[in-house]
Structure 1
């Protein structure tokens, strides 16, 4: 059974960088490439050599370091087929439903359009880890720059279907603001209240709010619960289509 070490670190103003290292093979995967320097610093600190980059979507703050890292390490860059013309240095494309071998690591590709039209998320079942880019955040989800609410709702249902014991890694540290919005739409949710207090304490001490168990997100993230009768009632939309409930929550979040 593969053995994994995962390192998360800050990049840019509020991005996360993540490196996934499989100990036996030495395979080291960067999830996106938001900034070269912190990725290099983490690789050096751990004594790892970068072998692959898994790109979630084409936005600049996720692909800026692609070509520099590829030139330095000859790393293979893998990304969504639907965004192949927008991702620098791309070597291999993937689509939702694919299961691929990345240096001996099994990676499941999940279609998660909405933030962009071609975004994908990566599930590493052996590592019990989900890398959701800007599709899903803790207590939130990505802004709808290219897709619509119905599209994003379907994407998040695919992520919600993953095992509870999965650890969620996201592209940005947005949890504190997400918590404020979540409490405004779901104020009586005890699990959400507890998570919001934890988030406040973590941020007060300069600590990240991620990763987080997907099980907790299923109980606290309103964007994963748009079909939950309790949340639908709290939104005053008990008989609405869940996609419309999702859209109403997203509209509220856009005001924060």
Structure 2
């Protein structure tokens, strides 16, 4: 591929709903986590589910859940509102540790996919509103952590999406012009952050958002990240 005609020099991925299919990963984890936090008590489970907008009967997050694009801290605050007597700090740590072992469902076979992108000379990064601990655990558990030049969570010192700070930190660390970086994500938080950072933006449909929600903020909306190489080619 002609470097001069390439659209981007770096790709910054969201994690949940982008690298990993949201439904197959986080609905399963959330159902078990609610049960564990509630000690199996039905009324408490109902309270927690209501606080995080999780449909217990269908065992899935509703699209309006504040947890989907929120930080681990924000998720803990929601849960804490349903568990008087439990500290937000305690719940935040519990969520961080248990989510690190969530049943991950990659959106595509990630190792060969990322190797192909790296072979194109692209810098690769991950920025998630999960904790950095959670991000590194997931990437290491799937054997792809070493494929990335940059890994950041909401607690890495750069801020959280939709603020542009963590995206600009990636560009700065890799020595790239923001306009030559593409932010890839499944939520409006991801794409708003990309726009604010002056980056190109790609939406993917492996999360909770519909195409109509992402399209106004994206240069393109793709079924999943596997379609990015074709988008990159002139």
Q: TM-score, normalised by structure 1?
A: 0.30
Report which of the two has the higher share of helix. 2
- By relative contact order (CA 8 Å, sep 6+), the higher-ranking structure is 2
Q: TM-score, normalised by structure 2?
A: 0.32
Report which of the two has the higher share of strand. 1
